Structure 1
């Protein structure tokens, strides 16, 4: 982290991230922390003697500035530049213009939410691209580009044919917003129940073993 920090001037980091004089030093010192996991030398127990490995980073577009900075720095400290695959951004329940936040429990569905909580959050807080009334919805259909239930179903509904039928019906007005939100509530509730059943099988010893810093056999075999 110190090596990276020495290669990035204050003016450069302001240009990349838009920091102002009022921002605290934690924001300014964080980019090197974000950068160094993309270098094999940060994990000697995994990649000893493999310092020239290249790192592939899946991330959303909001993480891109950190790794554009890392691209510039990597050759100067003898490391390979990382590569990115920019993934779809997963929106908060309130829509694309907001982000999930721990300070707002209604901005996201949590794996410890029960079925009633999940369906309440979806019905009350999930931003809809549907029309203001059932009559208008049947006439005009929904705007699928901004509709959060559709975005979530894109991720979580496993049957692509079912997804296309829902999109078609919602987009042409034959499906109402309430129906689509109920479908999403059912999908998320079942997913969380499966997670709960799996989590119940996990012991503290299993967690400790999984999280331990250790060589991983046959990583490249």
Structure 2
């Protein structure tokens, strides 16, 4: 991802804007039609991301059922994803602060590989 292309990376402050603006929705054209026919999880980008970030399979299945039945709207599923991604990014930022030069040096130091066949 390139920082010079604003659409190629997601920064913490831009998560909400980018998901709401660019994430293709499997929802219908109107709220009424969506509530009647439900959304298509197989093409909904927010749901596809949730399959990677939602650790609770039961919760993911409930989201799928609610969205497919029309009980949950596209904005609601995007909101769930935004909250999940924000937590992941904050976790990475927090972890990154604890990395020292010694830790990096330990990973980057060449060492003899030992294969025990």
Number of matched pairs: 116
Which of 85, 89, 96 lines up with 1:199 in the alignment?
A: 96
Change (3 A) 1:179 1:220: farther
Indicate whether 1:106 and 2:7 are aligned. Answer: yes
CA distance in 1, matches of 2:40, 2:116: 46
Q: Does residue 149 of structure 1 match 2:42?
A: no
Equivalents in 2 of 1:198, 1:220: separation in Å? 34
2:87 is matched with which residue? 190
In 2: Cα distance, 1:162 partner to 1:216 partner: 43
Cα distance, 1:107 vs. partner? 4.3
Return closer, same or farther for 1:161/1:199 CA change in 2, 3 Å cut-off: same
Distance in 2 between the 1:148 and 1:220 partners?
A: 44
Deviation at 1:117, TM superposition (A): 1.0
5 Å-filtered alignment, 1:1-16, equals none
Q: How much has 1:220 moved relative to structure 2?
A: 5.4
- 1:170 paired with 2:33, answer no
Q: Measure, in 2, the Cα distance between the counterparts of 1:157 and 1:220.
A: 38
Change (3 A) 1:135 1:180: same
**What secondary structure, in the 3-state scheme, does the structure 2 residue paired with 1:215 have?**
coil
Instruction: Kindly state the Cα deviation for residue 203 of structure 1 after the two structures are TM-superposed.
Output: 1.4
Please say which structure displays the higher CA radius of gyration. Answer: 1
Correspondence for 2:18: 121
Corresponding residue of 1:139: 36
Root-mean-square deviation over aligned CA pairs: 2.0
- Which secondary structure does the structure 1 equivalent of 2:99 belong to? coil
Deviates more, 1:191-200 or 1:202-211: 202-211
Task: Report the equivalent of 1:211.
Answer: 108
Question: Matched residue of 1:164: which SS?
Answer: helix
Gaps of 5+ in 1: 1-100
With the length of structure 1 as denominator, give the TM-score of the two structures.
0.48
Gaps of 5+ in 2: none
* CA gap 1:211/1:167 in 2 versus in 1, 3 angstroms: same
